[in-house]
Amino acid sequence: MGTVFHALVLNLHQPAGNLEALLESNEWEAKEILHALDRIPRSLWDYEDIARVNLSLSGTLLETLSRPDFQQRVYGIVKCGDLIWHLQNRRLFNILGTGYYHPVLPLIPEADWPAQVGRWLGLGRHLFWRTDFGGFWPPEMAFCMEMIPVLKRFGYRYVIVDSEHIEPVTPMRWEEARYRPHIARHNGEEIIVVVRDRELSYAQESGMDTGWFMYEVHERTKNCDFPPLVTTCTDGDNGGWFRNASLKGNFWGVLYRPLLEHVRRNETEIRPAFITDYLDQHGAHGEVRVRTAAWNTGWHCGIGFTQWTGSQAQKDALQRVAETSRALHEALVKAGPPGDGNAGIHSRLEQAHWRLLRAETSCHLFWGEAWVDRCHRDLDEAWTYLKPS
């Protein structure tokens, strides 16, 4: 068969203040995370000709890494400025846009989607010196069709979705549904959806060797009569597989760099690819719908968002998010367009706004009820600006 294109996608996220807190309470874990981030470009420098990594970084992580006080604090562990500079290497990295505070977008009010998407773009354009990011990484791969018009409004060409939630509109075989990009439409807008292979992604997260991966990719794509795009997506800074410092025991040394050696010697049909380059060359085919859901975690399959809504405390927090969002947007309408006469009001509402957006962070709900209080703390602060004494 011909070439099989492989889009490696890594998601990097740390909630606001988490790295700082770990440096105080669990310095070793903070160092593991920082070294895992710093290891990404360093593992690829010898492979600029063939390595291709599609990378998503949350706004809160980028904000932390780019803050001068944090850079000074971790100097001697990681040079954050150098790390951000190395991630600007367009030969190695294709940067994906995402939601600034890493929210589960289908669970938060639609009125807050533009701010989450737009604020990331503002920071991403500043740090990565580009205006067009092309692809969107939905935090937790949580997607619903209603997001399409918003993503298109902000200039996104494609979005990554999970293979378990694809529902073909155009008749297509299993391998076509999974290994070809498609078009999804909603309310007169359309976007390309790139399909994550769930099983291969789970193996990528858990640990696999190069031989197994090459064999599995071959078997899954051998009946393709088109150039297949195999997309694997996982976190890139969580778990021992990515945090292990030894090349004999981590993702880069056991899987990816050996795979690149096979590619260099032309011993495999696999070729690492940027998603944008694949789309430029091969396009998208067929129409699909995407079921409202998230990616799989260790506890659930993503349907129903049980990971984030399983307890009454989680549901109550989301209800309070909705109430706070409604009050904020009503206040913004009442205040009218910003001007000299209402600058103070808009300054106060902006303080409430970013705290509301931070309250929507997925991690506040991911760990059962362990972090729900963080959501409420942000909402409490937001309300102090919404209803000042």
At 367 the pLDDT is 84
At 342 the pLDDT is 85
Domain spans of the chain, in order of start: 4-290, 310-386
SS3 per-residue string spanning 5-47: EEEEEEEECCCCCHHHHHHHHCHHHHHHHHHHHHHHHHCCHHH
The token pair that represents 309 in the structure block: 């809504």
At 343 the pLDDT is 87
Query: With 0-12 CB in 10 A as exposed, 13-18 as middle and 19+ as buried, what is 292?
Result: middle
C-alpha–C-alpha distance, residues 81 and 66, integer Å: 7
CATH architecture of 4-290: Alpha-Beta Barrel (3.20)
At 239 the pLDDT is 86
At 389 the pLDDT is 54
pTM of the model as a whole:
0.96
Q: Where are the alpha helices (DSSP H) in 55-131?
A: 59-66, 68-73, 80-86, 113-128
C-alpha–C-alpha distance, residues 206 and 229, integer Å: 21
At 31 the pLDDT is 97
At 304 the pLDDT is 86
C-alpha–C-alpha distance, residues 369 and 309, integer Å: 10
At 1 the pLDDT is 61
**Residues 113-169: pLDDT tens digits?**
999 999 999 999 999 999 889 999 999 999 999 999 999 999 999 999 999 999 999
Q: How far is CA 210 from CA 94, 190, 220, 261, 355, in A?
A: 23, 37, 15, 10, 44
Low-confidence ranges of the chain (pLDDT < 50): none
Taken in order 94, 98, 100, 102, the sign of the CA dihedral is: negative
